[in-house]
Every structure is written in structure tokens, then in C-alpha cells.
């Protein structure tokens, strides 16, 4: 009887103090980055029963899990040649197996003791780091063309009508007011980008101006101009940003192979250039493809999983995954000179504010990763 009374009394006391549910506060943490991120959670003013600090940053169990997801999982993502994977994972069923250097070790022990979270080195599912069969085929001489044909057969065609507009940004063009300056570069300059090759010039554009700026690595202080472009007829583009509904596992997924191809660095260009040339040969006007900077712009995490299954493959999470990817446009040839596009307007483009979202993560020494 007394035990029940004293438990109720403690709960009431916690309620009066305003810290119901808060297990730890930001000041409980030793690691500077983790403490700073915990301060992003705001609540009532409490006196922390753990460290004694007076704080408005008490964190509930749920909030502590969110904090750990951002700091440890997202903060330990490493890109492979294709794909990417976190080096750390945690759950409340595992013992704590993570032994890292420094103050964070004390915090890991505290999170284990109080919240019951066990942290461990994550051995990724191999598909997450590029072991996807269509991707393997694309990387071989014999497998490439049949797989490219399969991609062009499988992905939907999207029509862009003359009512739609998009943008192309250029740095210091010779004649800023001349529409021809915003066409694809002359043939002799083709062959250095993701999709263009000698003999296959490409005009790159986007419906998102910020993506144009990111893709071309422009920065504040650059003398930039933007052309607003519109098609003169309906264009037929292969839409590679679509999420495919597929049978089979992640290891057989054409959908993941294509996404990984476009989120990879310049080592993938050899493949993407052949893909573009084949699409052109088949009579398409161009491609819509996932922007390399999609994840930065949308704040999304690449290749997220739930119980080891890619969220791209679950019906319920498909919309969420689709929203992470921004499409860029690649139009074949010299669409302005060829009369496929008209220049609606030309303006100077000023980068007035640059803003990056940042979060912290743990330091992993090479032998831990």
C-alpha cells in the first residue's frame, strides 16, 4: 500500500516539477556535439534528476531515440562506390558492443544504463553498398547494354508540355542577354558531365533553381544568370526518378541500381553517359534523373531501411521516399538552336543566402569502420 502511495507521490512530484517522462537532459551528456543536438529539444523547465542541472532540454525516451538515430546512425553514414550505409546501429534488445574513444563512450554507457539502448557496429546488408545484380551487370561490358535496354523499357515516359517551365543557370556567359548562351555547350565541350559525351551534347536544367546552383557548384559572389525555358512542343522524357514496383529482393532491384547509379560520383559517368546515348538513339527527347544533391536538398537519408527492407519497396513508405528525390532534366542535342525550347526570360541570379543544415556524429577511427 505504502509502495503504491510513494510511487504515485513521486509521479505527482515529477508532474509538478514538469519533467514527466524526461529521462535525461542535454547537460547529462559529455560529448559536445551530442549535448548541442540535445539542446534542440525544448520542453518545460526541469531540475534533472540525473545530473542536477536546471534545463529546458529534458528528453523523453522517444526523443532520446530520435537523438540517437540522428547522431549515431545518420552521423556514421559512409558512402561506398555505390550505395551508402551507417557504421553504427542501436536497438533495445542488444547489449552495448560499441567501444569508441573519448567522451562519447561515457554517453553511450549512460544511454545504455538509463534508456536500455545497445549500440553496435553495423554490418550493412550488402545490397546497401551496391551488391545489386542489375548494377553489377551495368558495370560489366557484356551486361551493360542489355541492362540499359531494360531500364529504358521499364521506366515510365513523362511528357513535359509547353505550359511547364524549368531553369538553366550559367556563370559569366559572354553575352548574358543572348538566348543562345543558354543552349547546351558546343560539341567540343561535351563529354565532361554526368550524361553528355562527345557527339551527345546535353542541356541540363531543373525545375528547382537551388538544385541548378548546387549541381554546378556555384557559390556566392559568382556572376550568375538564369534562363527560364519552356518546350515548344510536348517532350517525351524517360523518368528515372520513378520508384518501380518490383518483384524479388533488393539484390535484384533495378530501382535501387538506378538510384545508386545517379547518387554515385564520377566513376559512374561512363555508365550514365551510355544510358543517355541509348535513350537518344531510341528517339526520346531526354531524361529526368535523380539529382546527386537530392538528399542534401530534401534532408533525406539515402537507402533507409526498416527491419532490413528498403523503404522504397514498401507500399506505405513509397511517397516518403519519392519526396527525397528531386528530378533534373537532361535534354539531348542543342534544344534552343533546334527549336525544341524557347527562352521565356533571362535574369541575373543572385545568391542572397546560403544555408546548410548540419548535425553532429561520432568520430570513428579507421579500425572501427
Residues interacting with Zn ion, by CB under 5 A? Answer: 25, 27-28, 48, 50-51, 53
Smallest distance, Zn ion to C-beta of residue 50, A: 4
Cell of 110: 549512460
Nearer to Zn ion, 27 or 321 (CB): 27
Smallest distance, Zn ion to C-beta of residue 52, A: 7
Nearer to Zn ion, 55 or 294 (CB): 55
3-state secondary structure of 92: coil
Nearer to Zn ion, 22 or 202 (CB): 22
Q: Which long-range contacts (CB under 8 A, 24 or more apart) does 206-209 make?
A: 206/166, 206/167, 206/291, 206/326, 206/327, 206/328, 206/329, 207/164, 207/165, 207/166, 207/167, 207/327, 207/329, 208/291, 208/297, 208/326, 209/167, 209/169, 209/349
Nearer to Zn ion, 104 or 203 (CB): 104
Smallest distance, Zn ion to C-beta of residue 29, A: 8
What is the rounded distance in angstroms from the CA atom of residue 240 to the CA atom of residue 152? 9
Beta partners for residue 286, in sequence order: 237, 331
CA 257 to chain CA mean position, Å? 15
Smallest distance, Zn ion to C-beta of residue 62, A: 17
Nearer to Zn ion, 53 or 77 (CB): 53
Give the C-alpha distances (Å, rounded to integers) separating 266 from 30, 191, 256, 291: 40, 12, 18, 13
CA 202 to chain CA mean position, Å? 24
Nearer to Zn ion, 112 or 324 (CB): 112
Residue 147 parent element (H or E): helix 141-154
Smallest distance, Zn ion to C-beta of residue 100, A: 22
Smallest distance, Zn ion to C-beta of residue 347, A: 52
What is the rounded distance in angstroms from the CA atom of residue 92 to the CA atom of residue 97? 12
Smallest distance, Zn ion to C-beta of residue 114, A: 10
Residues 68, 70, 72, 75, Cα dihedral to 10°? -170
What end-to-end distance do the CA atoms of the chain give, in Å? Answer: 53
Q: Are 254 and 244 in contact (CB under 8 A)?
A: yes
Smallest distance, Zn ion to C-beta of residue 348, A: 51
Sequence-distant (≥ 6) Cβ neighbours of residue 143 within 8 angstroms: 136, 137
Nearer to Zn ion, 41 or 82 (CB): 41
Smallest distance, Zn ion to C-beta of residue 55, A: 6
Nearer to Zn ion, 84 or 108 (CB): 108
Q: Please count the other Cβ atoms lying within 10 Å of the Cβ belonging to residue 234.
A: 12
Nearer to Zn ion, 106 or 344 (CB): 106
Amino acid at each position: 500500500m505504502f509502495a503504491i502511495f510513494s510511487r504515485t507521490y513521486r509521479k505527482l512530484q515529477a508532474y509538478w516539477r514538469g519533467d514527466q517522462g524526461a529521462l535525461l537532459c542535454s547537460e547529462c551528456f559529455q560529448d559536445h556535439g551530442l549535448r548541442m543536438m540535445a539542446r534542440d529539444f525544448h520542453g518545460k523547465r526541469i531540475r534533472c534528476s540525473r545530473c542536477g542541472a536546471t534545463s529546458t532540454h529534458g528528453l523523453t525516451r522517444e526523443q532520446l531515440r530520435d537523438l540517437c538515430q540522428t547522431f549515431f546512425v545518420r552521423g556514421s553514414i559512409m558512402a561506398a562506390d555505390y550505395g551508402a550505409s551507417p557504421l553504427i546501429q542501436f536497438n533495445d534488445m542488444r547489449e552495448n558492443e560499441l567501444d569508441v574513444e573519448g567522451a562519447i563512450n561515457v554517453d553511450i554507457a549512460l544511454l545504455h544504463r538509463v534508456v536500455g539502448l545497445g549500440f553496435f557496429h553495423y554490418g550493412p546488408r550488402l545490397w546497401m553498398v551496391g551488391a545489386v545484380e542489375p548494377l553489377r551487370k551495368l558495370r560489366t561490358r557484356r551486361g551493360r547494354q542489355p541492362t540499359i535496354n531494360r531500364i529504358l523499357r521499364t521506366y515510365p515516359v513523362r511528357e513535359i508540355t509547353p505550359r511547364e517551365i524549368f531553369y538553366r543557370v550559367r556563370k559569366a556567359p559572354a553575352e548574358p542577354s543572348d538566348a543562345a548562351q543558354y543552349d547546351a555547350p558546343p560539341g567540343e565541350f561535351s563529354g565532361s558531365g554526368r550524361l553528355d559525351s562527345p557527339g551527345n551534347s546535353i542541356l541540363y536544367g531543373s525545375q528547382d533553381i537551388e538544385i541548378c546552383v548546387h549541381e554546378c557548384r556555384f557559390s556566392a559572389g559568382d556572376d550568375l544568370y538564369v534562363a527560364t525555358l519552356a518546350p515548344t512542343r510536348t517532350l517525351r522524357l524517360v523518368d528515372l526518378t520513378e520508384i518501380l514496383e518490383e518483384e524479388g529482393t533488393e539484390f535484384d532491384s533495378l530501382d535501387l541500381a538506378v538510384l545508386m547509379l545517379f547518387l554515385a560520383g564520377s566513376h559512374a559517368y561512363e555508365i550514365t553517359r551510355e544510358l543517355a546515348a541509348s535513350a537518344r538513339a531510341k528517339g526520346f527527347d531526354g531524361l529526368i534523373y535523380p539529382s546527386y544533391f537530392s538528399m542534401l536538398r530534401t534532408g533525406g537519408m539515402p537507402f533507409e531501411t526498416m527491419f532490413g527492407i528498403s523503404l522504397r519497396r514498401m507500399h506505405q513508405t513509397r511517397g516518403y521516399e519519392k519526396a527525397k528525390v528531386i528530378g533534373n532534366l537532361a535534354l539531348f542535342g542543342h534544344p534552343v538552336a533546334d527549336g525544341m525550347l524557347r527562352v521565356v526570360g533571362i535574369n541575373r541570379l543572385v545568391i542572397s543566402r546560403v544555408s546548410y543544415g548540419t548535425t553532429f556524429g561520432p568520430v570513428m577511427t579507421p579500425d572501427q569502420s
